[in-house]
Amino acid sequence: MPNAEPLYNQIANALIQSIVAGHYQDKLPTEVALAEQFDVSVPTIKKAMTILVENDIVTRIPGKGTFVKDYEKAKYIALEAEQEDGQTQVKKPLVVGVVLPEIKDDFANRLLNGITSALSERGAYGILGLSRNEREMESQIIENFLDIGVDGIVIFPTEGQLYNQDIVRLSLDDFPLVLMDRWLPGIDVSKVVSDHANGTKRAVEYLYELGHQNIALISVSSDSPLSTQSIIERKNGFLQGMENIGMPVADHLVWLQDRSDDENRELDVEFVMNKISSQPDVTALIGISAADTRIAFECANRLGLAVPEDISIIGFDIGNAFLDMGSFFNGGVDGRVAWLDQSEDLIGRESANLICRLVKNPCCKEVIEVPISLHTGASCQAPRHLARLVEK
């Protein structure tokens, strides 16, 4: 039976296979040469090349020729043959909607980098929507994505929410959906999250191994420390870690308060300073976020406490931007802060790969838990003396 597929489609598939096989690693032959090679007209070659250009596999440079743009897209994009009713069809690339609260720090940038890199390798495209950490804006972005017909959605939920009717609806409809980093309890949806509880437990164990027993947990930089699931998990991990080392936690070692607005950050600093001053037996602090950790350093500095001689500090998500903080502690310019690394790039990559799998099979929901790594540093050492404030 003759192949009813358009000739230019057949040629487009042949060219993509040649690129994947390595026959064309840089520049493609001219359209005239390809017309002779395939024994077709130049207009037919032009149609085939247009398919490759539209799918971002090759790029045309006027006066120079046509060049391979992205080998990985050539490998993964759906120009590969898919048999339907005996015909080979050209599949369109996946389009994924990505919802983030905001992009104002390295954490979000690394998440986004992981997502876009993995999507690009699969020949998929991402559309970004920023919710500004507003629940209503998040819902509007989801609706907009559905209206334009995205194939799937990856969502980093806004801070401080434990329920979202739009996400519930997508889940019930088996729409391809992945929650990233934060998740909503009780909603059956695929997600890629950090192992928050074990991360905090590991920090407690590390400090205990150094000789610390009175360790405080700080969370003043979240809208509501007990309303975001990741924060709840970190707190629970802290409590479990303290219990494991034989130090059941009283309320005085968990320093939580709702965040004041950004203009009143000084209230957060004063809260932590008062806690440190009133509890001189505490020799180590764990910041539940990067912002909390920076506040811990600032408070120690204002109180005249040397880090790590007087007090040790470790925190989540410090990242490369804050590894060197010599102005805050005696490690000098090369002093590196001890920190807990969520591997945001990996979370992003896993989320992108998972959403692509779900597009093919939305009913196969998955939960991927990414381990948290602990990086030791000069901001933690064995406690020198418990009564540090009395000495000063």
Q: Which amino acid is present at 66?
A: T
Based on the fold, state whether residues 266 and 175 are members of the same structural domain: no
Q: Is the pLDDT of residue 277 over 70?
A: yes
Structural domain contains residue 71: yes
Task: Specify the CATH number for the domain of residue 215.
Answer: 3.40.50.2300
| Residue 141 and residue 188 in one domain | yes
| pLDDT tens sequence across 206-218 | 999 999 999 999 9
Same domain, 68 and 117: no
* pLDDT per position as a tens digit, 75-112: 555 444 444 444 445 456 788 999 998 887 778 888 99
In this prediction, residue 332 carries a pLDDT of 43
pLDDT at 273 over 60: yes
Given this model, what pLDDT does residue 391 score?
Answer: 46
Please report which confidence band the pLDDT of residue 144 belongs to, taking 50, 70 and 90 as the band edges: very high
Identify the pLDDT of residue 232. 84
Task: Tell me what the mean pLDDT of segment 303-309 comes to.
Answer: 91
DSSP letter (8 states) at residue 92: P
Residue 290 belongs to some domain of the structure: yes
Q: Which residue has the tokens 């959605």?
A: 153
In angstroms, the CA 344 to CA 193 distance is 10
Q: Is residue 1 part of a domain?
A: no
Q: Is residue 40 part of a domain?
A: yes
Task: Kindly state whether residues 301 and 379 are assigned to the same domain.
Answer: yes
Do 219 and 319 share a structural domain? yes
Same domain for 231 and 319, yes or no, is yes
Are 187 and 325 in the same domain? no
Q: How far is CA 278 from the centre of its chain?
A: 37
CATH number at residue 49: 1.10.10.10
Whether 122 maps to a domain, the answer reads yes
Local structure of 152: helix, strand or coil: strand
2 lies in some domain: no
Between residues 164 and 15, the one the model is more confident about: 15
Whether 38 and 116 share a structural domain: no
Quote the number of domains for the chain.
Answer: 3
More confident residue, 72 or 333: 72
Alpha helices (runs of H) in 344-383, residue ranges in sequence order: 344-360
Q: Tell me which DSSP letter residue 336 carries.
A: B
Q: Indicate whether 164 and 236 sit together in one domain.
A: no
Q: Are residues 50 and 66 in the same domain?
A: yes
Q: Which residue has the higher pLDDT, 325 or 12?
A: 12
- The candidate with the shortest Cα–Cα distance to 339, out of 321, 365, 352, is 321
d(CA 220, CA 181): 19
| Domain contains 359 | yes
What is the C-alpha separation between 370 and 195, in angstroms, rounded?
6
Q: What is the pLDDT of residue 73?
A: 60
Paired with 218 in beta bridges are 255, 287
Nearest to 371 by CA among 244, 254, 237: 237
Tell me: do 186 and 212 sit in the same domain. no
**Domain range for 304:** 196-342+375-391
Q: Which residue has the higher pLDDT, 247 or 131?
A: 131
Residue with tokens 């993995």: 118
pLDDT-derived band at 22, boundaries 50, 70, 90:
confident
Question: Same structural domain for residues 36 and 175?
Answer: no
Question: pLDDT tens for residues 353-373?
Answer: 999 999 888 778 899 999 999
